[in-house]
Amino acid sequence: MARKKKELPLLEQVTITDVAAEGKALARVDDMVVFVPYVVPGDVVDLQVKRKKHNYAEAVAVKFHECSPLRREPFCKHFGICGGCKWQCLEYEEQLRYKQKQVTDNLTRIGKIELPEISPILGSEQTREYRNKLEFTFSNKRWLTQEEVERDVRYDQMNAVGFHIPGAFDKVLAIDECHLMDDICNRIRNGVRDYAYEHGYTFFDLRSQEGMLRNMMIRVVDEGPGLMVVMQFKIVDPAEEALMKQLLQYMADTWPEITSLMYVINNKCNDTIGDLPVYTFKGEDHIIEQMEGLKFKVGPKSFYQTNSRQAYNLYKVAREFAGLTGNELVYDLYTGTGTIANFVSRQARQVIGIEYVPEAIEDAKVNSAINGIDNTLFFAGDMKDILNQGFINRYGRPDVIITDPPRAGMHGDVIDTILLAEPKRIVYVSCNPATQARDLSLLDVKYRVARVQPVDMFPHTHHVENVVLLELK
């Protein structure tokens, strides 16, 4: 006999007191911490508990008694459902304050190291339409909101293109508008959707692994012309291949703004394209980003900071922290397409970039060539395998190391090699202050933190970048 599900309590007139991790807020009820999404400090709400553990609970707000003076009206119709931009309801200046606090708390509590005064966070001038890249998923399982379920809403079309719903891997929220990118992304996404509806294209089913339309990636250039669209298809027969080309031709004819129209045939179980060829249907196989007079080739597999304007501010901080005079050998770890490496090359004797993705390294070499930069070297491979004592013996001991690792931070072997190399300065750029703090504590045996500069790359989210300067003790 199945165990009867325990009824979870309704907590009435609870005051939200603080911001927590992952974009949630928190309240305290008796001795229990309650995590709540889509509310802000100062809100007084009734909370329906959805999950309860011994000393904490997760809940949703079901009734507002008082709205906080910090609350702002969300500008997106999909707020609260799609899972992105969770802080739209919070005044932007308050978002910055909490991001500053996040950096301070992580470095203090996790790093447990001596810190200088942390500089005020650099806010983003653009808080809407600031992204240069978005990815949308096609699915035959349209997500229905709780309201739609209760109203028994029936759609003629259950195929959808949009964002995955958190916690529902095979369901997609149909997106009509997204404010993260220039409106061209809305026009292209909705136009392709309507064409697919009209002509009977099949949308992908993640469970059965059937369906033709899988994914759409759109990249725009911040300055000048440049618009890349990469369509991802599952193609199993010549008829589907013909339909694919018809859709691509429709896109090429409808949006002349597209300078790079590309496609991938992906018959695998996942949407990753790193191991698959990308074909050009129209235009170039790349777009060109520009920064401080430098040009950067960005391909369909290339990493480039998704907030171009704020990336410029981030890299200026990194360059300033590096303290280059023109005589330094710089190692740029996790170099991507060589953006930072090329950006600082004018102030260095030589820059050596290392990156895992071979295609990104090829782009990095091209980026040096098209900008007439001849003092860079780039290597592809796993960081922990490439960066070792033998590598340093061959190419020289770095005076400065700039490192911009993924969210997981640096591998222990990489940290050990850095400690052996003993550069005078380390500039650590991080998209995750928690793993950054962990790595700083390991580097603390030889280095002191001299400067800390948080940077907001993603308004209306809890994410924050942080740049730390370490100097040899």
* Sequence-ordered strand ranges (E) for 175-271: 213-220, 227-233, 260-265
Give residue 94's pLDDT: 95
For residue 33, give its domain range.
10-71
CATH number for the domain spanning 200: value is: 2.40.50.1070
295 belongs to a structural domain: no
- Report the C-alpha gap between 44 and 42 in whole angstroms: 6
Calculate what percentage of the chain has a pLDDT beyond 90: 84
Tell whether the model's pLDDT for residue 430 goes beyond 50: yes
Find residue 137's DSSP bridge partners: 162, 215
Mean pLDDT to the nearest integer, 39-62? 93
> Which residues lie closer than 8 Å to 237 by C-beta, 6 or more apart?
none
83 belongs to a structural domain: no
Q: Please, are residues 309 and 130 in contact by the beta-carbon 8 Å criterion?
A: yes
Tell whether the model's pLDDT for residue 407 goes beyond 60: yes
Tell whether the model's pLDDT for residue 4 goes beyond 60: no
Mark whether 368 and 238 lie in a shared domain: no
Mark whether 461 and 317 lie in a shared domain: yes
Mark whether 194 and 217 lie in a shared domain: yes
pLDDT band with cut points at 50, 70 and 90 for residue 367: very high
Mark whether 456 and 314 lie in a shared domain: yes
194 belongs to a structural domain: yes
301 belongs to a structural domain: no
84 belongs to a structural domain: no
Task: Render pLDDT for 107-129 as a digit per residue (tens, 0 to 9).
Answer: 999 999 999 999 999 999 999 99
Mark whether 120 and 204 lie in a shared domain: no
Angle between helices 433-443 and 92-106 (to 10 degrees): 30
Neighbour tally for 65: CB within 10 Å: 12
2 belongs to a structural domain: no
Mark whether 65 and 196 lie in a shared domain: no
Mean pLDDT to the nearest integer, 434-445? 97
Catalytic annotation, residues: 431
Mark whether 232 and 376 lie in a shared domain: no
Mark whether 109 and 141 lie in a shared domain: no
Parallel/antiparallel/unpaired status of strands 260-265 and 227-233: parallel
Give residue 148's pLDDT: 80
Task: Render pLDDT for 241-280 as a digit per residue (tens, 0 to 9).
Answer: 999 999 999 999 999 999 999 999 999 999 899 899 999 9
Give residue 198's pLDDT: 96
78 belongs to a structural domain: no
Mark whether 201 and 327 lie in a shared domain: no
Q: Which of 473, 400, 413 is nearest to 439 (CA)?
A: 413
- What DSSP character marks residue 23? G
Q: Please, are residues 300 and 228 in contact by the beta-carbon 8 Å criterion?
A: yes
> Which residues lie closer than 8 Å to 178 by C-beta, 6 or more apart?
76, 78, 134, 185, 186, 189
For residues 327 and 4, which has the higher predicted lDDT (pLDDT)? 327
- Report the C-alpha gap between 157 and 159 in whole angstroms: 6
Of 222, 251, 285, the residue that ends a domain is 285
pLDDT band with cut points at 50, 70 and 90 for residue 23: confident
Find residue 58's DSSP bridge partners: 35, 51
87 belongs to a structural domain: no
Mark whether 169 and 280 lie in a shared domain: yes
Give residue 1's pLDDT: 45
Mark whether 65 and 106 lie in a shared domain: no
This prediction's pTM = 0.91
Mark whether 118 and 141 lie in a shared domain: no
Task: Render pLDDT for 68-79 as a digit per residue (tens, 0 to 9).
Answer: 999 999 999 999
CATH number for the domain spanning 409: value is: 3.40.50.150
- Report the C-alpha gap between 66 and 358 in whole angstroms: 54
Written as one string, the DSSP assignment of 182-208 is -THHHHHHHHHHHHHHHHTPPBPBTTT
How many domains would you assign to the chain?
A: 3
